[in-house]
Chains A and B, each alone.
Chain A
Amino acid sequence: MEHGGSRLSGRGLTLSYERRTIAEDLTVAIPGRSFTVVVGPNACGKSTLLRALSRTLKPASGSVLLDGQDIAALPAKQVARTLGLLPQSSIAPDGITVAELVSRGRYPHQKLLRQWSPDDERVVAGSMAATGVADLADRMVDELSGGQRQRVWIAMALAQETPLLLLDEPTTYLDIAHQIEILDLCARLHEEEGRTLVAVLHDLNHAARYATHLIAMRDGRVVAEGAPGDIVTADLVEEVFRLPCRVIDDPETGTPLVVPADRRRASVTAHAGGKA
């Protein structure tokens, strides 16, 4: 198989919203069984790439291949049994319970006369257990905290029972403890259940700590990709984020830790010097 066992790849993608082009001739491959994290500055096209890979956005040109087949030509429900997506723009309907929201993840496995199989029951219970929301099953989703709610949405994506799972900024709007909790959960899904995960993250240090494969983007291009330990350097961070920094070893995990340079002190000194 191409790309060293990749099941999902994009080739020569041109991605645009109306007349604004986000990326041109973009080619990426998600390594099989990896926890791939996509990073880059705001508006670099990372979420757009995820939307294209999940078929939520149709590329203006190029194609997305899922198991060697053009994703646009496959039946939508078949794709949804292989590839799950947790977008940023999810809406919890009024008055929906946790169990009910999670069970909607079973939609691609259901039919008009196969609305709730014993499999559905088992997978929904398993997904709620895996994300630690089983105790909340009968609670209303709109009563939950942000961290709980995000775990519920992840449970819904898990209930879809797909070997590939794409997550668009799953930690945004969460406090640091909840961010780590969600990322630990993702790591567990990757390691214990052998799922391939692709996540867009804002925090470079989280990305470096959890990813097995890192894709750094800027202006709709892939600037570098590889294992975080191999590619995260001060030069790369400067190139991608325009941020001078030092990269040290994370004392906890040994993964790269990005420490921004203190530009404030430099400018304060310059001002003081000017006045004197």
Chain B
Amino acid sequence: MSAVRSSVIRFGAGRSVRFRPRALAVSAGCALLALVLGVFAVGSGEFTIGPADVVRTLLGDGDPAQDFIVNELRLPRVATALLVGAALALAGALFQSLVRNPLGSPDVLGFTQGAAVGALAVVVMGGSSLALAAGAVTGGLVTGVAVYLLAWRHGVHGQRLVLVGIGTAAILTGVNGYLLTRGQLMDAARAVLWLTGSLDGRGWKDVLPLLVAMAVLVPVVLLGCGRALRVVEMGDDVASGLGIRVERLRLVLLAAAVLLASFAAAAAGPVNFVALTAPQLAKRLTKAPGPNLLPSMCVGAAMLVGADLAAQRVFPGHQLPVGVVTGVLGGGYLVWLLAAERRAGRI
């Protein structure tokens, strides 16, 4: 009667890996969807290129004109969308699991706003895009440390972290408003666009810092901490009894999540609600308990590429920043979530 929930593959020397076919299928499906949407996104624009030509060009077999448009102009934007979506979703999945609350997400907890303060400071002072990335990461990390210390009381507990984070987010939003009034008009306009979350005019130099950060952090999180995080969801004492150093794990994963969110914000601005919604959507698709880290990443990547494609296509001749699309969709989801949580008596 019951479906196969998990499968085991054994290979020599007593080694084995265990996985859920359904979760793997969701991950593969969403990754594929993200790539297909990506091909369409690369092909669309003032100069339309068919999907077949896009793929041929990506494989290094296109004519020079298409090669320039695809690889230099449009691919960086799509690559940014894929990576930012995956990074934000992973950060969100980590936060939601660590604070055991679906509201745990870098944009609710203030880390995104912290990254924005750092980035805006750089924008207002007129720094380069590398300085902007550094500013965003510094802002995110400082906020992370502050929230951790304020919420720390013999261990960090979910509810406390959420409340402290929401307060911090409000304060930092005020700081951002102040920074905008201090900037020159041109800088302020650039800053407002950045604050909405936009993928316009991304080049490879915007992608690179995020790519490097993810190359380091994703293996650490997925392979190094994934199984332990699943156990921590059963409560700190249970996890400690099963041989996990809970506080150390939490510190490592909070740091990783803050870094992922900050690097993502540096690349595309604070794109709202992807971190909040992607892990929840992944959970509903996989029907699996646990943090669903890999499925969340794939869902997040597909979501952001899809949202960016929609942002370019919905109003012909008038592009929206992608943050507007994720904001509208995600905001609606947040309202629904709050209503559902309230019905369930959790808030």
Contact = CB atoms under 8 A, between A and B. Distances in A.
Contact of A89 (B1, B17, B235): B235
Contacts of A108: 242-243
Given A17-B154, A18-B153, A116-B18, 12 more contacts: A56-B237, A56-B240, A76-B244, A87-B241, A90-B238, A91-B238, A92-B234, A95-B288, A96-B289, A104-B230, A113-B16, A115-B16
A100 interface: yes
B200 interface: no
A32 to B, nearest CB: 20
Contacts of A138: 1-2
B187 interface: no
Nearest to B153: A18
Contact of B234 (A77, A91, A117): A91
Nearest first, the 5 closest Cβ-Cβ pairs linking A and B are A80-B243, A85-B241, A87-B237, A77-B243, A138-B2
Q: Which of A89, A91, A101 has the most CB of B within 10 A?
A: A91
B104 to A, nearest CB: 14
B51 interface: no
Given A76-B244, A96-B289, A138-B2, A90 B16 contact: no
Given A89-B236, A92-B234, A112 B242 contact: no
Contact of A110 (B1, B153, B227, B238): B227
Interface of B is mostly: loop
Contacts of B240: 54-56, 76, 85
29 contacts: A51-B237, A54-B241, A56-B236, A78-B243, A80-B241, A80-B242, A81-B243, A85-B238, A87-B235, A87-B237, A87-B238, A87-B241, A88-B237, A89-B238, A90-B235, A91-B100, A91-B235, A93-B234, A94-B289, A95-B288, A100-B5, A100-B289, A110-B227, A112-B223, A114-B15, A114-B16, A115-B17, A116-B18, A160-B242
A79 interface: yes
Nearest to B288: A95
B280 to A, nearest CB: 11
Contacts of B236: 56, 89
Contacts of B290: 93
A84 interface: yes
B237 A104 contact: no
A157 B5 CA distance: 22
Nearest to A85: B241
A79 B15 contact: no
Interface string B8-20: 1000001111100
B245 interface: yes
A179 interface: no
B214 to A, nearest CB: 20
Interface in A74-132: 76-81, 83-97, 100-101, 104-105, 107-108, 110, 112-117
B242 A105 contact: yes
Contacts of A76: 240, 243-245
A77 B243 CA distance: 4
Interface in B240-260: 240-245
Number of chain A interface residues as a range: 35 or more
B57 to A, nearest CB: 39
A86 B114 CA distance: 40
A92 B243 CA distance: 18
A112 to B, nearest CB: 6
B143 to A, nearest CB: 26
Interface string A17-43: 110000000000000000000000000
B190 interface: no
B182 interface: no
A239 to B, nearest CB: 31
Contacts of A80: 241-243
Contacts of A17: 154
Interface in B15-38: 15-18
Contacts of A95: 287-289
Contacts of A157: 241
Given A18-B154, A104-B234, A115-B8, A56 B289 contact: no
Contacts of B2: 138
Contacts of B1: 138
Given A87-B235, A95-B289, A56 B241 contact: yes
Contacts of B17: 113, 115-116
A115 B227 contact: yes
Contacts of B53: none
B67 interface: no
Interface in B147-170: 153-154
Contacts of A112: 223, 227
Contacts of A110: 227
A22 to B, nearest CB: 13
B231 interface: yes
B5 A85 contact: no
A113 B15 contact: yes
Contacts of A90: 234-235, 237-238
> Which of B8, B18, B241 has the most CB atoms of chain A within a 10 A radius of its CB?
B241
Contacts of A51: 237
A170 B76 CA distance: 57
Contacts of A105: 242
B241 A84 contact: yes
B122 to A, nearest CB: 39
A125 to B, nearest CB: 14
A107 B237 contact: no
Interface in A164-189: 166
B234 A116 contact: no
Nearest to B245: A76
